[in-house]
Each structure stands twice: as C-alpha cells, then as structure tokens.
C-alpha cells in the first residue's frame, strides 16, 4: 500500500506530544527556544521510535510475521520499544547488538553500562538479544542477515526491520509528526533541530516541514556519507506519496561536529549539558542523542548560525540516563 493511501496504523503513542517554550534557556541564551516532547510519547517509557512502530508493526502483521529481526547498539532505544510492541502482538523480537558498533576506527572512550537502562527493559519485554564483540556497522548488518536466514530455516516467518526503524514507513511517521507540530504552533519556527542517526527522523521532518522551517540534524554517528542514505530514503518516500518532494543530498543540513568520541560513547561536554538543562528546565536529555543534539544547538546559537525561533525535537532515550557510568 502506498503512503498516499494511508498505510495501516496502530495506536501506541499518546499523541500529540506537548510543545512548550523553554523560558529559562530562552532568557539565558537570548534566543527563543521551544521543545517538542517526544520523550513523552508514552509507549514503553517514551521516545520517537514509537511513532515508527505504529506503522511497522501493522506491516509485519500483514506479512504474517511471527518473528521480527533488527539490530543496534546494546542500549538501543528502538530495540526496547520494538520489544514492547512485539510483546503486544505475540511476535518474537530478535536483535543483534554490539556495545559500541562503529564506522572506521574503533572509538576510544567509555560506553554505557551493559546491564541497566534499555538492556534491563529488553529482558522485561522478552527481547532475544544476540550480543557480539564490537565491530563495524557493516559487520553487525551481516550478522543480522545471518540471524534472519537461520530463523527462516527454522520455520519462522521473519520480518526484518532496518536499524532504528529507518524505512519509508518510519520516515512517513515523521512527515506526520512535522504536521502535528505545525498544527500545534501555527506561527511556526525558523529552525527545527533534532538528533539524527539512521535517518528516517530527519528525512521525515525535512519533508514534513518543507517550505516552513529549516531542519538541522545533529549527528550521533561520525559518518558523513549518511546524507546519501537520507537522500535515497527521501526518494523512496516521495515515490510512494506524490504530494511530497524528494530531498537531494545537498539540501540536508547534518552537523557532524558534535559526535564527540563516537556513537554511544560518553563525553564530558554532553554530560555537562545534560546536567545544565536538568537544572535550568527540569528536563532530562539522554547521552546518545538528545544530549549531543543540545550541545550542537547551544554551540550553533553561540556562533549565530541559528537565530530566531527554534524548536528542539526531544527524541527520548531516557532509560539510557540510568546507564551512565561514573556520573558526577
């Protein structure tokens, strides 16, 4: 079914999520900052991935799947919410994970705890985790393909979900999320700033806010080639929804300078910003996505690269706060 025909959807999230002004940060930075609270989607402790699962799970059911296979970092927010959704429909959830998957050279630095946060919740939701030694993302993808093949040989009907739910359905959910935000605040925003990783969130927001707000993604991965994947995904979404215009590589604004020491690797700057926002606004950010995105937001404001009215998209990830090691 094409996206223009409204793909099947199940209600998992409490929508619309709130939008509100961050008064103390606005005063502190002399720039008007608002926040979209996708940490409050309400499903399996919240987060943006629930929006994608509202479309991915019906597609899996339509395919007759009794097992879903995906992959990610050990503390994956997507795996946690996927496990919860699978539990609701009696589908097995299988996930290949590494503590610190990487692109290029292995990261140096400390990762998140391996037995708390999302990992604990994965156990609660009966996710079958297959943990491998750290390696490249391509190695992790290959291991995931092998697992799917083995499950199919064992007689399972397998539905494979790309990392982070980054598919046309995942991006479509964020086209709708952008429209949700515009309906809440019709006066709009000059910029929308969001964490960005596997791509469907930034692609959907870019396409949904087209002509209304400039979307800036703050990368959680040190991979400059990601924008090519974004453009490819955008074309697929546009092919299925003729009302949307595909986004070319050069049109994406993806900032790579705030990754720190690597994907899912802790850094002092991010932890300091998480504490600052908690103490200024009573808000929790996570150390993998929203924390680093806030580092980027503050720096870009200081450089006057972001001005006017700004919407910060909080993508959730709160369970990983409980996996931070050596918190001061």
Residue pointed to by tokens 């605040």: 185
Could you give the residue ranges of the DSSP H alpha helices within 127-267?
Answer: 137-153, 168-184, 200-208, 226-240
| Residue pair 134/168 in contact by the 8 Å Cβ criterion | no
Task: From the candidates 76, 166, 290, 323, give the one annotated as an active-site residue.
Answer: 76
Residue 245 has phi, psi (to 5 degrees) of -105, 130
Answer for the pair 112, 325: CB distance below 8 angstroms, yes or no: yes
Contacts of 212 (CB under 8 A, 6+ apart): 182, 188, 189
Query: What b/e string do you get for 230-255 counting C-beta neighbours within 10 Å, with b at 16 or more?
Result: bbebbeebbebbeebebbeeeebbbb
> What span, in angstroms and rounded, lies between the C-alpha atoms of 19 and 259?
26
Neighbour tally for 128: CB within 10 Å: 15
Q: For residue 293, how far is the Cα from the chain centroid?
A: 12
Q: What b/e string do you get for 40-64 counting C-beta neighbours within 10 Å, with b at 16 or more?
A: bbebbbbbbbbbbbbbbbbbbeeee
Count CB neighbours of 167 within 10 A: 22
- 116 in active site: no
- 57 closest CA partner among 84, 95, 37, 38: 84
Task: Find the length of the chain.
Answer: 328
Catalytic residues: 76
């Amino acid at each position: 079914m094409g996206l223009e025909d409204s793909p099947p959807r199940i209600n998992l999230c409490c929508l619309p999520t709130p939008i509100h002004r961050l008064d103390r940060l606005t005063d502190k930075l002399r720039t008007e900052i608002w926040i979209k609270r996708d940490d409050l989607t309400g499903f399996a402790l919240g987060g943006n991935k629930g929006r994608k699962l509202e479309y991915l799970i019906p597609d899996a059911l339509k395919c007759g799947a009794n097992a879903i296979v995906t992959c990610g970092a050990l503390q994956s927010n997507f795996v946690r919410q996927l496990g919860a959704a699978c539990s609701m429909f009696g589908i097995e959830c299988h996930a290949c994970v590494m503590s610190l998957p990487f692109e290029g050279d292995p990261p140096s630095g400390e990762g998140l705890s391996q037995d708390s946060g999302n990992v604990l919740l994965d156990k609660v939701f009966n996710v079958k985790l297959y943990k491998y030694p750290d390696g490249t993302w391509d190695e992790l993808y290959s291991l995931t393909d092998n697992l799917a093949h083995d499950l199919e040989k064992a007689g399972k009907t397998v539905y494979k979900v790309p990392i982070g739910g980054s598919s046309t359905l995942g991006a479509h959910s964020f086209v709708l999320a952008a429209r949700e935000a515009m309906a809440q605040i019709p006066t709009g925003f000059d910029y929308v700033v969001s964490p960005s990783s596997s791509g469907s969130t930034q692609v959907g927001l870019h396409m949904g806010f087209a002509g209304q707000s400039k979307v800036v993604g703050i990368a959680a991965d040190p991979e400059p080639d990601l924008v090519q994947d974004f453009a490819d995904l955008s074309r697929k979404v546009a092919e299925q929804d003729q009302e949307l215009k595909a986004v070319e590589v050069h049109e994406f604004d993806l900032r790579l300078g705030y990754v720190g020491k690597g994907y899912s690797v802790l850094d002092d700057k991010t932890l300091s910003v998480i504490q600052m926002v908690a103490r200024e606004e009573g808000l929790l950010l996570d150390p993998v996505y929203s924390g680093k995105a806030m580092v980027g937001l503050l720096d870009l404001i200081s450089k006057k690269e972001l001005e006017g009215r700004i919407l910060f998209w909080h993508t959730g990830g709160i369970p990983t706060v409980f996996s931070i090691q050596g918190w001061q």
